[in-house]
């Protein structure tokens, strides 16, 4: 008996260049931690150029480049000082053009991050706003409000920042500006036409240079509806986030912006693609970001918050494929990124005293290192989950280092940490570790001052155990995580088919099995007991133990 999941079967990767994104494997490069070619401890654009053969050998279809723009690094580059240039510490526009050429020559598309909710406080538009008087056109490009109190000495509201601390910052003349995130990241006023023009120009600038698509940061935060009398933080927190009318998040009006952007994307042949980072309340709300007249695709983060559990995985897959079918988009699958604990570590955590280990957030908040992580089990589960994802219809987003089975680095000294989520309103001894642990520079070699990352040290120190996960070490090991990813991506291209699957009942709650339209099957054993296959069933990826799928592993079967 099979349980059909209906999706769009007519579009397959490679069937038309315009549809390349629908079933692509996209590799996220966090450039400051990828590869350092000038020995300053920071990864750079030339590092991506030099590792283009590695990326091609891995088998990815596209690279998503996290922010590389001029920045004061108040938030890892997500505080952008100039949207149409390269941070000089990372290279030049000429280096960027070389990167585009190197990746395109190897058949790899390029997606770049766009950060439209806020800029750096060093951006020319914000500096002009600070220099201009109250009520000026320059200030109208951002969210300024008069303070409360006799002389505006109190904030306009008691709102808090996502990173902790106050959400309003005074500028010395009785006015305050709003920032959802760090103080150095003032929010744009998207009711202002100058802001629209700035980003339309930015999209065309990078598209003209050959960029194939854009990842939209905080896509759900741009549109705001702020009354003269601002609600309190408690009132904001109590408001409905599912009706599209919340004054701050996921407003229906935000999609007018993306319809405007779609017109720009469609000026190019093939059209530029976009994917929304939108942390919203429901799958139905997320689907609104993935319509053909809008951004076209939206990140599905559900698996970032799921346990290594068959029932949870099946529910998430079924729900998201249905939503994608409804919008004509394709599903996205992701297990790790630059904002969350690496999934190899999450899956190696055990619940303690009833603690929820989803997303590793409780572990991070508890200060992580005090808890024992089962590294071997976490790595085994991570590979099983990744191979499950790579068999699904839709696009899969990989985070740099996950192909190595890298774990989170928890024991970073406070003086070496960079994440504002760690510093703003946090007690370093009690209140968590922030996001630096998944942003530690990659190990390329078994030895050296930074394990081959660069000629000197790394901007976030690497632990000694990184040597065992280095590309050099795994390259030589046929059984390594890296070589498993290479085999999977090569086979995925060979087996790719229509965007649907049927569930095949296994008789076990902890084993999932599905079949794609061409007969390609994926079997994942989430349990610990072996799952026997029928006589004659031999995997094309993964190995059987005594004719059975071992616990916490995945195999692929050819149709």
DSSP state letters, 432-455? --TTGGG-SPPP-SSSSTTTTS-S
Given a contact cutoff of 8 angstroms between Cβ atoms, the answer to whether 533 and 544 are in contact is: yes
**How do beta strands 175-178 and 213-216 pair?**
unpaired
| Euclidean distance between CA atoms 209 and 100, whole angstroms | 8
Q: Encoding tokens for residue 558?
A: 């050819």
Listed in sequence order, the residues at least 6 apart from 11 whose beta carbon sits closer than 8 Å to its beta carbon are 19, 22, 330, 499
- How long is the chain? 559
End-to-end alpha carbon distance in the chain: 17
DSSP state letters, 67-136? --SSB--TTTT-SBS-TTS--TTT--HHHHHHHHHHHHHTT-EEEEEE--SB--TTSHHHHHHHHSPTT-
Can you give the three-state secondary structure of 250-311, one letter per residue? CCCCHHHHHHHHHHHHCCCCCCCEEEECCCCCCHHHHHHHHCCCCCCCECCCHHHHCCCCHH
| Euclidean distance between CA atoms 71 and 75, whole angstroms | 9
Given a contact cutoff of 8 angstroms between Cβ atoms, the answer to whether 545 and 530 are in contact is: yes
> HSE (CB half, 13 Å, CA atoms) of 361?
9
| Euclidean distance between CA atoms 285 and 295, whole angstroms | 14
Strand-pair partners of 549 = 531
| Euclidean distance between CA atoms 432 and 422, whole angstroms | 7
- Tell me the C-alpha to C-alpha distance, in Å, between residue 33 and each of 298, 414, 543: 25, 18, 34
- Which strands, in side-by-side order, build the sheet including 168-170? 144-146, 175-178, 168-170
Q: Which of 31, 125, 72, 187 is nearest to 420 (CA)?
A: 72
Given a contact cutoff of 8 angstroms between Cβ atoms, the answer to whether 297 and 332 are in contact is: yes
Active site residues: 217, 267
Given a contact cutoff of 8 angstroms between Cβ atoms, the answer to whether 381 and 527 are in contact is: no
Q: Which of 307, 288, 290, 309 is nearest to 298 (CA)?
A: 290
| Euclidean distance between CA atoms 450 and 147, whole angstroms | 48
């Amino acid at each position: 008996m099979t349980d059909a999941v209906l999706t769009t079967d007519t579009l397959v990767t490679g069937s038309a260049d315009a549809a390349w994104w629908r079933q692509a494997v996209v590799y996220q490069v966090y450039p400051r931690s990828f590869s350092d070619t000038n020995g300053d401890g920071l990864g750079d654009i030339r590092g991506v150029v030099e590792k283009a053969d590695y990326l091609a050998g891995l088998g990815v279809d596209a690279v998503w480049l996290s922010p590389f723009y001029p920045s004061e690094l108040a938030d890892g580059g997500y505080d952008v000082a100039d949207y149409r240039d390269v941070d000089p510490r990372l290279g030049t526009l000429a280096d960027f053009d070389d990167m585009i050429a190197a990746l395109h020559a190897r058949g790899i598309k390029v997606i770049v991050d766009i950060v439209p909710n806020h800029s750096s406080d060093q951006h020319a538009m914000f500096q002009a706003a600070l220099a201009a008087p109250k009520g000026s056109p320059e200030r109208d490009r951002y969210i300024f409000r008069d303070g409360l109190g006799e002389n505006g000495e109190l904030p306009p509201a008691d709102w808090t920042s996502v990173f902790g601390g106050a959400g309003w910052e005074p500028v010395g003349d009785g006015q305050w500006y709003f920032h959802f995130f760090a103080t150095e990241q003032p929010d744009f006023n998207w009711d202002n036409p100058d802001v629209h023009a700035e980003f339309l120009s930015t999209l065309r600038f990078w598209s003209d240079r050959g960029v194939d698509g854009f990842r939209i940061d905080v896509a759900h935060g741009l549109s705001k509806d702020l009354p003269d009398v601002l609600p309190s933080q408690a009132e904001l927190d109590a408001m409905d986030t599912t009706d599209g009318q919340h004054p701050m998040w996921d407003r229906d009006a935000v999609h007018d912006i993306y319809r405007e952007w779609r017109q720009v994307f469609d000026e190019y042949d093939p059209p530029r693609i976009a994917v929304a980072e939108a942390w919203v309340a429901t799958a139905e709300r997320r689907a609104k970001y993935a319509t053909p007249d809008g951004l076209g695709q939206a990140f599905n983060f559900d698996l970032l918050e799921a346990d290594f559990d068959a029932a949870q995985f099946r529910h998430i897959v079924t729900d998201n494929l249905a939503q994608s079918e409804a919008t004509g988009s394709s599903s996205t699958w992701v297990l790790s990124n630059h904002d969350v604990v690496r999934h190899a570590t999450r899956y190696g955590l055990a619940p303690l005293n009833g603690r929820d280990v989803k997303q590793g957030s409780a572990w991070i908040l508890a200060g992580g290192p005090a808890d024992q992580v089962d590294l071997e089990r976490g790595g085994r589960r991570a590979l099983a989950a990744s191979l499950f994802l790579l068999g699904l219809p839709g696009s899969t987003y990989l985070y740099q280092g996950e192909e190595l089975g890298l774990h989170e680095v928890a024991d970073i000294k406070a003086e070496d940490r960079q994440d504002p989520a760690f510093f703003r309103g946090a007690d370093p001894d009690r209140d968590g570790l922030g996001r630096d642990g998944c942003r530690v520079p990659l190990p390329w070699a078994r030895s050296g001052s930074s394990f081959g990352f660069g000629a000197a040290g790394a901007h976030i120190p690497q632990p000694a155990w990184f040597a065992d996960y280095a590309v050099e070490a795994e390259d030589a090991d046929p059984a390594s995580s890296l070589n498993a990813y290479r085999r999977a991506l090569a086979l995925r291209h060979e087996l790719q088919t229509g965007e649907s699957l049927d569930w095949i009942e296994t008789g076990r709650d902890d084993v999932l099995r599905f079949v794609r339209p061409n007969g390609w099957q994926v079997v994942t054993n989430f349990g610990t007991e072996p799952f026997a296959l029928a006589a004659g069933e031999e995997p094309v990826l993964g190995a059987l133990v005594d004719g059975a799928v071992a616990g916490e592993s995945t195999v692929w079967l050819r149709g």
